[in-house]
Structure 1
Amino acid sequence: MPEQTTHILHMTERALWDAARAGGTYEMSTRGRTLQEEGFVHCSTRAQLPGTAAAFYADLDDLVVLVIGPALLDVPVKYEAPQPGAEAFPHVYGPIPVTAVVAVETWPAS
Protein backbone atom coordinates (compact mmCIF):
# COMPACT_ATOMS: atom_id res chain seq x y z
CA MET A 1 0.00 0.00 0.00
CA PRO A 2 1.36 3.47 -0.84
CA GLU A 3 2.39 5.71 2.03
CA GLN A 4 -0.17 8.21 3.30
CA THR A 5 2.14 11.08 2.29
CA THR A 6 1.80 10.09 -1.37
CA HIS A 7 -0.59 12.27 -3.31
CA ILE A 8 -3.66 10.65 -4.76
CA LEU A 9 -5.29 11.79 -7.98
CA HIS A 10 -8.83 12.28 -9.19
CA MET A 11 -9.75 12.97 -12.82
CA THR A 12 -12.77 15.15 -13.49
CA GLU A 13 -14.35 17.63 -15.85
CA ARG A 14 -13.08 21.20 -15.43
CA ALA A 15 -16.65 22.52 -14.96
CA LEU A 16 -17.23 20.17 -12.03
CA TRP A 17 -13.99 21.32 -10.37
CA ASP A 18 -14.94 24.96 -10.95
CA ALA A 19 -18.29 24.32 -9.24
CA ALA A 20 -16.53 22.60 -6.32
CA ARG A 21 -14.17 25.55 -5.88
CA ALA A 22 -17.18 27.85 -5.66
CA GLY A 23 -18.88 25.58 -3.10
CA GLY A 24 -15.84 24.64 -1.02
CA THR A 25 -15.99 20.86 -1.43
CA TYR A 26 -15.72 18.35 -4.26
CA GLU A 27 -18.42 15.65 -4.12
CA MET A 28 -18.35 13.74 -7.41
CA SER A 29 -17.33 10.09 -7.18
CA THR A 30 -16.61 9.31 -10.80
CA ARG A 31 -17.98 10.23 -14.18
CA GLY A 32 -21.74 10.76 -13.83
CA ARG A 33 -21.96 9.56 -10.21
CA THR A 34 -21.90 11.58 -7.01
CA LEU A 35 -20.27 10.77 -3.70
CA GLN A 36 -23.75 10.25 -2.26
CA GLU A 37 -24.60 7.68 -4.97
CA GLU A 38 -21.30 5.77 -4.81
CA GLY A 39 -20.30 6.14 -1.15
CA PHE A 40 -16.75 7.33 -1.88
CA VAL A 41 -14.72 9.34 -4.37
CA HIS A 42 -12.76 7.18 -6.82
CA CYS A 43 -9.08 8.16 -7.02
CA SER A 44 -5.93 6.80 -8.63
CA THR A 45 -2.22 6.72 -8.08
CA ARG A 46 -0.02 8.43 -10.67
CA ALA A 47 0.69 5.03 -12.28
CA GLN A 48 -3.02 4.15 -12.46
CA LEU A 49 -4.13 7.46 -13.98
CA PRO A 50 -3.61 6.64 -17.70
CA GLY A 51 -5.74 3.50 -17.36
CA THR A 52 -8.47 5.41 -15.55
CA ALA A 53 -8.44 8.07 -18.27
CA ALA A 54 -8.68 5.48 -21.05
CA ALA A 55 -11.44 3.48 -19.35
CA PHE A 56 -13.74 6.30 -18.24
CA TYR A 57 -12.83 9.62 -19.84
CA ALA A 58 -11.46 8.92 -23.33
CA ASP A 59 -14.36 10.65 -25.08
CA LEU A 60 -14.24 13.86 -23.01
CA ASP A 61 -12.28 17.06 -23.41
CA ASP A 62 -11.42 19.78 -20.88
CA LEU A 63 -10.38 17.39 -18.12
CA VAL A 64 -8.33 18.17 -15.04
CA VAL A 65 -6.53 16.03 -12.51
CA LEU A 66 -6.95 16.98 -8.87
CA VAL A 67 -3.80 16.28 -6.88
CA ILE A 68 -4.99 15.54 -3.36
CA GLY A 69 -2.93 15.55 -0.17
CA PRO A 70 -4.34 12.70 1.95
CA ALA A 71 -3.03 14.31 5.15
CA LEU A 72 -5.24 17.33 4.39
CA LEU A 73 -8.42 15.22 4.41
CA ASP A 74 -10.56 14.73 7.50
CA VAL A 75 -12.22 11.61 6.08
CA PRO A 76 -10.79 8.10 5.57
CA VAL A 77 -8.79 7.04 2.51
CA LYS A 78 -8.87 3.30 1.85
CA TYR A 79 -7.02 1.37 -0.85
CA GLU A 80 -9.49 -1.16 -2.23
CA ALA A 81 -9.62 -3.49 -5.21
CA PRO A 82 -12.73 -3.50 -7.43
CA GLN A 83 -12.69 -7.29 -7.27
CA PRO A 84 -10.53 -9.89 -5.50
CA GLY A 85 -7.03 -10.08 -6.93
CA ALA A 86 -7.32 -6.76 -8.80
CA GLU A 87 -5.14 -3.74 -8.21
CA ALA A 88 -6.20 -1.56 -5.25
CA PHE A 89 -7.25 2.03 -5.89
CA PRO A 90 -7.50 4.85 -3.33
CA HIS A 91 -11.05 5.72 -2.32
CA VAL A 92 -11.92 8.86 -0.32
CA TYR A 93 -14.86 8.25 2.02
CA GLY A 94 -16.30 11.73 2.19
CA PRO A 95 -16.27 15.16 0.58
CA ILE A 96 -12.91 16.54 -0.51
CA PRO A 97 -12.35 20.08 0.76
CA VAL A 98 -10.89 22.28 -1.98
CA THR A 99 -8.08 23.07 0.48
CA ALA A 100 -6.95 19.40 0.27
CA VAL A 101 -6.31 19.80 -3.49
CA VAL A 102 -2.66 20.85 -3.64
CA ALA A 103 -2.49 21.16 -7.44
CA VAL A 104 -4.69 20.96 -10.52
CA GLU A 105 -3.20 19.56 -13.73
CA THR A 106 -4.66 19.59 -17.21
CA TRP A 107 -5.27 16.23 -18.94
CA PRO A 108 -3.74 15.15 -21.10
CA ALA A 109 -0.62 16.83 -19.83
CA SER A 110 0.81 19.28 -22.33
Structure 2
Amino acid sequence: MCGRDEWPPQDEYRPESLEVEGFVHCSDLGTVHLPANQLFSGRTDLVLLVIDPARLDAPVRWERPVVGPPDGPWFPHVYGPINPGAVIDVIDFPPGPDGVFTLPAVLANP
Protein backbone atom coordinates (compact mmCIF):
# COMPACT_ATOMS: atom_id res chain seq x y z
CA MET A 1 0.00 0.00 0.00
CA CYS A 2 1.06 3.53 -0.58
CA GLY A 3 -0.31 7.02 -0.88
CA ARG A 4 -2.34 7.75 -4.00
CA ASP A 5 0.22 10.39 -5.02
CA GLU A 6 3.05 7.79 -4.92
CA TRP A 7 1.56 5.61 -7.68
CA PRO A 8 2.38 5.29 -10.46
CA PRO A 9 6.05 6.09 -10.04
CA GLN A 10 8.16 7.61 -12.80
CA ASP A 11 10.16 4.39 -13.01
CA GLU A 12 10.11 1.82 -10.18
CA TYR A 13 8.39 2.10 -6.82
CA ARG A 14 11.08 2.62 -4.18
CA PRO A 15 9.57 3.33 -0.75
CA GLU A 16 11.77 4.53 2.07
CA SER A 17 11.83 1.02 3.61
CA LEU A 18 13.80 -0.24 0.60
CA GLU A 19 16.61 2.21 1.32
CA VAL A 20 16.45 1.86 5.12
CA GLU A 21 15.69 -1.84 5.60
CA GLY A 22 16.61 -3.30 2.23
CA PHE A 23 13.12 -4.48 1.27
CA VAL A 24 9.57 -3.35 0.51
CA HIS A 25 6.99 -4.33 3.12
CA CYS A 26 4.01 -6.13 1.61
CA SER A 27 0.98 -8.03 2.91
CA ASP A 28 -1.45 -10.67 1.78
CA LEU A 29 -5.21 -10.25 1.74
CA GLY A 30 -5.57 -11.64 5.24
CA THR A 31 -3.08 -9.28 6.85
CA VAL A 32 -3.21 -6.02 4.90
CA HIS A 33 -5.36 -4.37 7.58
CA LEU A 34 -2.71 -4.95 10.28
CA PRO A 35 0.01 -2.60 8.98
CA ALA A 36 -2.65 -0.21 7.66
CA ASN A 37 -4.12 0.26 11.13
CA GLN A 38 -0.76 0.26 12.90
CA LEU A 39 1.21 2.50 10.55
CA PHE A 40 -1.31 4.54 8.56
CA SER A 41 -4.02 5.44 11.08
CA GLY A 42 -5.76 8.65 10.07
CA ARG A 43 -4.74 8.47 6.41
CA THR A 44 -7.45 8.63 3.79
CA ASP A 45 -5.25 8.65 0.68
CA LEU A 46 -4.09 5.02 0.58
CA VAL A 47 -4.26 2.63 -2.37
CA LEU A 48 -3.51 -1.08 -2.43
CA LEU A 49 -1.13 -2.27 -5.11
CA VAL A 50 -2.18 -5.77 -6.14
CA ILE A 51 1.07 -7.47 -7.12
CA ASP A 52 1.58 -10.61 -9.18
CA PRO A 53 4.74 -12.11 -7.60
CA ALA A 54 5.57 -13.93 -10.84
CA ARG A 55 5.95 -10.55 -12.57
CA LEU A 56 8.32 -9.05 -10.01
CA ASP A 57 11.90 -8.40 -11.04
CA ALA A 58 13.00 -8.71 -7.38
CA PRO A 59 12.81 -11.74 -5.07
CA VAL A 60 10.07 -12.17 -2.45
CA ARG A 61 10.72 -13.72 0.96
CA TRP A 62 8.07 -14.53 3.56
CA GLU A 63 9.43 -13.47 6.94
CA ARG A 64 8.44 -12.65 10.47
CA PRO A 65 7.22 -9.09 10.96
CA VAL A 66 9.79 -6.46 11.82
CA VAL A 67 7.54 -5.24 14.64
CA GLY A 68 5.01 -7.27 16.57
CA PRO A 69 4.78 -10.67 18.18
CA PRO A 70 7.32 -13.22 16.95
CA ASP A 71 4.56 -15.83 16.67
CA GLY A 72 2.37 -13.52 14.56
CA PRO A 73 1.70 -13.85 10.84
CA TRP A 74 4.55 -13.75 8.37
CA PHE A 75 4.67 -11.09 5.67
CA PRO A 76 6.04 -11.00 2.11
CA HIS A 77 9.05 -8.73 1.73
CA VAL A 78 10.22 -7.73 -1.75
CA TYR A 79 14.01 -7.37 -1.88
CA GLY A 80 14.17 -4.72 -4.56
CA PRO A 81 11.98 -2.06 -6.15
CA ILE A 82 8.47 -2.84 -7.36
CA ASN A 83 8.46 -2.74 -11.15
CA PRO A 84 5.17 -1.30 -12.48
CA GLY A 85 4.55 -4.36 -14.68
CA ALA A 86 4.09 -6.48 -11.55
CA VAL A 87 1.17 -4.37 -10.34
CA ILE A 88 -2.00 -5.85 -11.82
CA ASP A 89 -4.50 -3.61 -10.04
CA VAL A 90 -4.65 -0.47 -7.89
CA ILE A 91 -7.54 -0.26 -5.44
CA ASP A 92 -8.58 2.67 -3.27
CA PHE A 93 -8.12 1.79 0.41
CA PRO A 94 -9.98 4.27 2.60
CA PRO A 95 -10.64 3.53 6.26
CA GLY A 96 -14.20 2.87 7.40
CA PRO A 97 -16.33 5.55 9.08
CA ASP A 98 -14.74 4.56 12.40
CA GLY A 99 -11.24 5.14 10.99
CA VAL A 100 -10.40 1.42 10.95
CA PHE A 101 -9.03 -0.26 7.83
CA THR A 102 -10.57 -3.52 6.64
CA LEU A 103 -10.11 -5.46 3.42
CA PRO A 104 -12.01 -3.73 0.59
CA ALA A 105 -15.13 -5.64 -0.49
CA VAL A 106 -13.81 -5.92 -4.05
CA LEU A 107 -10.95 -8.08 -2.71
CA ALA A 108 -12.92 -9.86 0.01
CA ASN A 109 -15.57 -11.08 -2.44
CA PRO A 110 -13.87 -11.47 -5.83
TM-score range (shorter-chain normalised) is 0.7 to 0.9
Aligned to 1:26: 13
Aligned to 1:15: 5
Q: Distance in 2 between matches of 1:103 and 1:58?
A: 23
Aligned to 1:95: 81
| Percent of pairs with identical residues | 43
- Structure number with larger C-alpha Rg: 2
Summarize deviations over 1:50-74 as a string: whole Å, max 9, x none.
1121111111111100000000012
More displaced 10-residue stretch of structure 1: 75-84 or 44-53: 75-84
Summarize deviations over 1:46-104 as a string: whole Å, max 9, x none.
01011121111111111100000000012110000026423110000001111110000
Cα RMSD after superposing both structures: 1.6
Q: Tell me if 1:85 matches 2:75.
A: no
Gaps of 5+ in 2: 95-103, 106-110
Matches within 5 A, 1:7-86: 11-18=1-8, 20=9, 23-28=10-15, 33-82=16-65, 84-86=70-72
Aligned length: 93
1:17 Cα offset (Å): 1.4
Aligned to 1:3: none
After TM superposition, the score normalised by the length of structure 2 is 0.77
Gaps of 5+ in 1: 1-10
Moved >2 Å (runs of 4+):
82-86
C-alpha change, 1:40 and 1:65, in structure 2 (3 Å) is same
Q: Distance in 2 between matches of 1:73 and 1:79?
A: 15
Greater strand share, 1 or 2?
1
After TM superposition, the score normalised by the length of structure 1 is 0.77
